[in-house]
Structure 1
Amino acid sequence: MALRHALAFDPIAVDDPRSDLAGTMRSFDPRSPIVQIGDLSAQRGDGVFESLGMVGRHAQEVSAHLARLAHSAALCDLPEPNLAQWREAISRVVVHAPETGESVLKLILSRGVDGAGAPTAWVTLADAPDSTAAREHGIRVVTLDRGYTADVPERAPWLLLGAKTLSYAVNMAAIREARRRGADDAVFLSSDGYVLEAPTASVILRRDGRYLTPEPAAGILHGTTQRSIFSYLGSLGVDTAYARITRDELRSADAAWVVSSIRLAAPIVQIDGEETARDAAMTASLNRYLLSPRD
């Protein structure tokens, strides 16, 4: 993704009396260096982030993404984000987006430079990848063992399952493995056989007219796009629920999708080499909704 603009700022506490939040921020050329080599985001992946889809100059689901940023920060023992400051940063960046088309806004909160004792933060704007083919023609997935059982989050909260951290090496390795197997993406399974999520997306399926997604308590990221879709489906009078879902239930679903802020709703058309049912009309409906301005 080609970067268009970047802005860095020094995070301030939620009870900081300063009102000139813009004065804490500085724009910079996204092609120039900004992260110090000692920053723990670069050295250890010690930080959290959010990726927001943008339609024109409208950032989608800002409140939901900021709430999840704060949740991830709490899980990682990072300072509580001053959400007013983050909103100001977003407002100063979105004006640099094209008036039409799709972009990606990334929010990053790092523990900061090793030994400095203060977090660092920045926001970047980039062109969104072209997801037309995935949305219209669907994606092939393989299921991969995530390496833990569904009850691990309760027993080992220090694994930070459910936090959107910068430590994405495993996620990227899973996508590479999926491509080695001739697929486009992966769907993680718990070691006891339950569907979790894709490396960068949530999973939604439909069975007998009911839309289901894996329980967030299983240690997955609670997807902002998944929640938005459930809200949309609820407005249509459609039944939705969180559930424990097996691979066989995913395989035999009436239709299934991976959904995210950037790719939006991509129908799953093949699982582990087996063709699956799809619903082109519902896919189109979901993507029309996801491409409409939402706060």
Structure 2
Amino acid sequence: MALPYTLIIDPLAADDDAEVDGTFRAVPADAPALRVGELSTQRGDGIFETIAVVDGHVQESEAHLARLVRSAEICELPVPNLRQWRAAISFALEQVPAEGELAMKLVLSRGVEHGPAPTAWLSVNPAADSTAARTQGIRVVTLDRGYDHGVAERAPWLLLGAKTLSYAVNMAALREARRRGADDTIFVTSDGFVMEGPTSSVIARIDGVFVTPRPSGSILAGTTQASLFEYIRVHDYPVAERDMTIDELRSAEAIWLVSSVRLAAPVVELDGVPLAIDAEPTDAFTRYLLSPRN
């Protein structure tokens, strides 16, 4: 069941506001909540986070809020008042079922064109069923992102390190993957380095080491990937955040695409070449990612 409200948040509330609960209001989910001139819908001019809610527990909320702050700074939006967002998250959790998997979305937009202030809101909806992806795996193709892996340093105005609402390219990449008979894609740079998926981070096991592309101005730091690496380290397996070439990816022993809601989906085919599922770590990753995590 979805949250019966959209929580409209005042993004200009000061950090020292004593009554942060009063800085957001609940609008019935079936009632109008945004204006036609909203720049989030007109231009994708805003940022967001999607947080998994599992059996009434919000997963990795602090990591998502920290990334929301980073995205706001990159996009020159008001820095989120985290006390206010935490209060809104707590209010939302009181309204949703204590069982099942849900997706909580936090959005901060530039606001209405020529309007006085930015807009922000929180909503919760049932998560898409990703059981098959977690257990049976996904077929993946690599797609050229169209620039080399040093572009973010040369062109920071591309906002590649922020989680923005401008997802048209990402959705086009998923449609292209399906045209090629695959379920998802991994972006690669024009000079042959692995980046990320349209909605996921990449983890590959290469010579026994769990490797993810080094977060940079071009690659969004993954909250689920970071949490999973902590889990892997605790179990004494080596991990590395470093540049990864496409040739290394294609020779990997196992590959996963990981995200907050889908969790860890093993790759069973890469660019038409079959890849075996390593069941033991895949099952362990799923159990861990479904467990309560702060």
Range into which the TM-score falls when normalised by the shorter chain: over 0.9
Match of 1:249 in 2: 248
Deviation at 1:117, TM superposition (A): 3.4
Distance in 2 between residues matched to 1:274 and 1:2, nearest whole Å: 39
Aligned residue number for residue 230 of structure 1: 229
Structure 2: distance between partners of 1:132 and 1:103:
14
**Alignment correspondent of 1:124:** 123
Deviations 1:169-201 (A, max 9, x none): 000000000001100001000010111000000
92-101 or 41-50, which moves further after superposition?
92-101
**Residue 143 of structure 1: aligned partner:** 142
In 1: Cα distance, 2:3 partner to 2:168 partner: 21
Could you tell me which residue of structure 1 aligns to residue 10 of structure 2?
Answer: 10
Aligned counterparts, 1:25-36, within 5 A: 25-36=24-35
Q: What TM-score, normalized to structure 2? A: 0.97
* 3-state SS in 2 of match to 1:265: strand
More displaced stretch, 197-206 vs 276-285: 276-285
The answer on whether the counterparts of 1:253 and 1:277 sit within 8 Å (CA) in structure 2 is no
Asked whether the 8 Å contact 2:59–2:292 carries over to 1, the reply is yes
In structure 2, what is the equivalent of residue 272 of structure 1?
271
Provide structure 1 residue ranges, at least 5 long, that are not aligned to the other structure: none
Query: In 2, distance between residues paired with 1:192 and 1:55?
Result: 39
Summarize the alignment of residues 108-187 of structure 1 with structure 2, pairs less than 5 Å apart: 108-187=107-186
Match in the other structure for 1:69: 68
Contact 1:202 1:258 in 2 (8 A): yes
1:219 partner letter: S
Question: Is the Cα contact below 8 Å between 2:204 and 2:252 reproduced in 1?
Answer: yes
CA contact (8 A) 2:152 2:217 kept: yes
Q: Which residue of structure 2 lines up, in the alignment, with residue 194 of structure 1?
A: 193
Matched residues in 1 for 2:217 and 2:253: separation? 23
Structure-2 change in CA distance of 1:272 and 1:4 (3 Å): farther
Task: Name the aligned partner's letter for residue 275 of structure 2.
Answer: T
Does the CA contact (< 8 Å) of 1:48 and 1:73 recur in 2?
yes
2-structure distance, mates of 1:2, 1:30: 9
For residues 10 and 184 of structure 1, the distance between their equivalents in structure 2, rounded to whole angstroms, comes to 38
1:263-293 superposed Cα distances (whole Å, 9 cap, x missing partner): 0000001011110132011100001000000
Q: Deviations over 1:189-231 (max 9, x none)?
A: 0010111000000000001211000011260110000000000
Runs of 4+ in structure 1 deviating by more than 3 angstroms, as ranges, are: 1-5
Aligned to 2:42: 43
